[in-house]
Amino acid sequence: MQTTLRGVGVSHGVAIGEVRHMGTAVLEPPAKQIPAEEAEREQGRARQAVEAVAADLVARGNLAGGEAQHVLEAQAMMAQDPELMADVDRRIAVGSTAERGVYDAFASYRALLAGAGEYLAGRVADLDDVRNRIVARLLGVPMPGVPDSDEPYVLIARDLAPADTALLDPTLVLGFVTEEGGPTSHSAILARALGVPAVVALPGAGELAEGTVIAVDGSTGEIFVEPSAEKRAEMESSAAARKAALSASTGPGATSDGHKVPLLANVGGPGDVPAALEAGAEGVGLFRTEFLFLDDSKQAPSEEKQIAAYRAVLEAFPEGRVVVRVLDAGADKPLDFLTPADEPNPALGVRGLRSLLDHPDVLRTQLTSLSKAAEGLPVHLEVMAPMVADRADAKAFADACRAAGLHTKFGAMVEIPSAALRARSVLQEVEFLSLGTNDLAQYTFAADRQVGAVSRLQDPWQPALLDLVAMSADAARAEGKSCGVCGEAASDPLLACVLTGLGVTSLSMGAASIPYVRSTLAKHTLAQCERAASAARAADSAEEARVAAQAVLSGE
């Protein structure tokens, strides 16, 4: 008998297949004591296992490329964290085996993160995965991970570690469902990059029996257990129609009555450029530059290295617009040379632009590198700062850009509610705004973007979040300047229409989402988008806002 479950849809598409569960985590190693004379040998075993796991993560990242590579490289750095390794050595010195020392040291660090309010819940999941891989290697047992199957299946997991998600084979993994995570978790971001239908934050997903046939709708978040023949046919027909519509939709983004809405790509480095070009991106709306800095948390990359990486992306979009976000470090992206190690709540501390203003040499080198990388190219380079709180922040960034010799547009990301509330003031110092809806939702609702339990508050359809978007867009219009969206909200085709109706002037998203958004925008007039936006803002919940907008756009 068909039953329906609902989670959070995070990656478009339909998947129908049998359930396969993620491999179980490594069992806790026994707590046995070793003689003192064996301590040095055990410490060596632990270090070898850590280095092997770190090398494996880097190798997986090199194979995956793009966003996945940056995530996996950060995870490799986590495995080699010197404080963690020092703790492992101390535990072995007093009698623990290598595997037990690793297990207990990671458990201690995990408890510290959880005690800090679980802001770093996404990093906790990554930490668990690193621990399991190291312990598995020391015990000589198979790594936990994706099941071995010759037939296509739908993957079910409590959560997916980046190392597993990055190398999923789309020809075998039709889609995946997780119990935890949210719309901006690593799993969700990588699913969209892979183009694999995915649903996260589905309580009880792990209780679905192995071999059960389910149908996954990555757009609505619905899971149909043992779907009827009629339901399967309906979903397959809908998926085929959507694919045909995507193929037919080409060219610049625009509404059906010709209102232009440039569709840009979010990229994390040169490896993401081919997919963006293939999807028909009109430029880059968010070039994350963290990938360069995560290679070595001890020091900033040289000017020469930065110039080469930036130029590789800029050259790919001649005459196009490329918006570069300067380094956004801190919180879940700590760097030893830049961010404080002892902040009680990194989310509310020195991160983003605050870190750069505290280290003007790092900011100056990055801005100078960008200026030199753009020399002689016809590309429209624009530079923006993350985590701008007020006009003073915006002025400090604009002054730094001018001092570095940048002759381009300077912008501010709206990720803090204060920047939206005082957007006209911020725009006295910069020439454009870019809404980072992921962090804006996090700070508006006091809801960690990595914690599945509060995922409803991370839903970009929340009317309060739409109010802040409208406020920012209205301010930009009044000042004769632009206001784009580069957060995950832009990847939702229906919400893209609402954002257009709110006055947003460009939309930037993962490359895989661009055809869906282009196709949907082309079906509706600007007036319809404006009416849908008004209906969504008048609602009292995210679900009501989504339903209200859908009713307007479908002509109901």
Taking the CA atoms of residue 117, residue 120, residue 121 and residue 126 in that order, the dihedral angle to the nearest 10 degrees is -150
Q: Give residue 114's pLDDT band: very low, low, confident or very high (50, 70, 90).
A: low
Q: Which range among 203-217, 233-247, 437-451, 480-494 shows the weakest confidence by mean pLDDT?
A: 233-247
pLDDT in tens, 224-243: 999 999 999 998 888 887 77
DSSP string, 477-527: HHTT-EEEE-SGGGG-HHHHHHHHHHT--EEEE-GGGHHHHHHHHTTS-HH
pLDDT in tens, 415-437: 999 999 999 999 999 999 999 99
Q: Give residue 117's pLDDT band: very low, low, confident or very high (50, 70, 90).
A: very low
pLDDT in tens, 526-542: 999 999 999 999 999 99
pLDDT of residue 76: 84
Structure tokens at 6: 């609902």
pLDDT of residue 199: 94
Whether the CB-CB separation of 79 and 49 falls below 8 Å is answered with no
Task: Please identify which of the residues 486, 497, 524, 529 carries the catalytic annotation.
Answer: 486
Other Cβ atoms within 10 Å of 347 Cβ, number: 19
Active site residue 401: no
**DSSP letter, residue 221:** -
Share the mean pLDDT of the chain: 87
Angle at 295 between CA 70 and CA 398, to 5 degrees: 85
pLDDT in tens, 6-45: 998 888 889 999 999 887 666 788 888 999 899 999 999 9
Rounded to an integer, the average pLDDT of 238-255 is: 82
Structure tokens at 51: 């280095």
Q: Which range among 128-142, 275-289, 486-500 shows the weakest confidence by mean pLDDT?
A: 128-142
Taking the CA atoms of residue 395, residue 397, residue 403 and residue 405 in that order, the dihedral angle to the nearest 10 degrees is -120
pLDDT of residue 107: 87
Task: Please identify which of the residues 12, 186, 359, 524 carries the catalytic annotation.
Answer: 186
Rounded to an integer, the average pLDDT of 107-129 is: 64
pLDDT of residue 186: 67
Residue with tokens 């997916």: 160
pLDDT of residue 356: 94
pLDDT of residue 120: 47
What Å distances lie between residue 242 and 171, 234, 515, CA to CA? Answer: 19, 12, 10
Is the pLDDT assigned to residue 190 strictly greater than 80?
no
pLDDT of residue 116: 45
Active site residue 483: no
489 closest CA partner among 428, 552, 536, 556: 536
pLDDT of residue 142: 67
Q: Is the dihedral of CA 406, 408, 410, 413 positive or negative?
A: negative
Whether the CB-CB separation of 385 and 414 falls below 8 Å is answered with no
Is the pLDDT assigned to residue 122 strictly greater than 60?
no
**Strand duo 8-11 + 198-200: pairing:** antiparallel
Whether the CB-CB separation of 374 and 404 falls below 8 Å is answered with no
pLDDT in tens, 509-524: 988 889 989 999 999 9
**Strand duo 14-21 + 213-217: pairing:** antiparallel
Is the pLDDT assigned to residue 220 strictly greater than 50?
yes
